[in-house]
Amino acid sequence: MRQAKPGVVFVAAIIALTGIGFGYAHWTETLTLTGTVETGELELEWSCECWDNDDELKDIGKITCSIEEDTLTITVTNAYPCYEVGGTIDIENAGTVPAVLTGYEIVPPDDVTYEYNSDTGEITLYYEGDVMATGSITFGGDSLEQIDNVAYIYFTIHFTNPGLPENWEGTFQVTLNFENWSPPPQ
């Protein structure tokens, strides 16, 4: 029996592989898919309006509120026993996706501590351990768990005696953290 020369076997293998490759290429097809994905925009605009119970006869105390970027600053000056302040914080969703409040930070003046009960909305302010004011924080409009249009935060603070020192003034800073709402995983 005659043996094939290695060169002939190699050439035959190349020809066979070329035929298989041609057959494979002849019967395949490439599809290319293209698409566009656009994400929504998270944009919240907020404003505040504050008020107090001063009247024309006793216009002593003062409350101001302002917003710079993501921080609300509330300043109370010349508070006295029975002085009551309040305000409304409007949060408008100007973006294209719903938003959700993920956290907040309230920074009181150095001489003040506070307790907030989120179940009842009650807040108590302490000056050097004594109660200086009580109040409430309530929410309206859209839920802060999904803001589609507008949400509101209402607050009232009633200054009391004896914990309130004379000539007290203080500045509170409130930062609200939001992210885009997404449905819970299933």
Give tens-digit pLDDT for 142-158: 777 888 899 999 999 99
Separation between Cα atoms, residue 20 and residue 144, nearest integer Å: 65
Separation between Cα atoms, residue 179 and residue 100, nearest integer Å: 6
What is the amino acid identity at position 121? G
The dihedral sign for the CA sequence 67, 155, 113, 131: positive
Say whether pLDDT at 186 is over 90: no
Which pTM value belongs to this model? 0.73
Nearest-10 Cα torsion for 156, 50, 146, 102: -80
Average pLDDT, the chain: 85
166 C-beta neighbours (distance < 10 Å), count? 7
Instruction: Give the closest residue to 155 by CA, choosing from 178, 132, 172, 168.
Output: 172
Instruction: Give the closest residue to 154 by CA, choosing from 176, 136, 170, 172.
Output: 136
Separation between Cα atoms, residue 163 and residue 84, nearest integer Å: 15
Give 3-state DSSP helix, strand, coil % of the chain, rounded to 5: 10, 45, 40
Phi, psi of 58 (to 5 degrees): -135, 65
Give tens-digit pLDDT for 21-77: 666 555 667 788 898 888 889 898 999 999 998 766 677 889 999 998 889 999 999
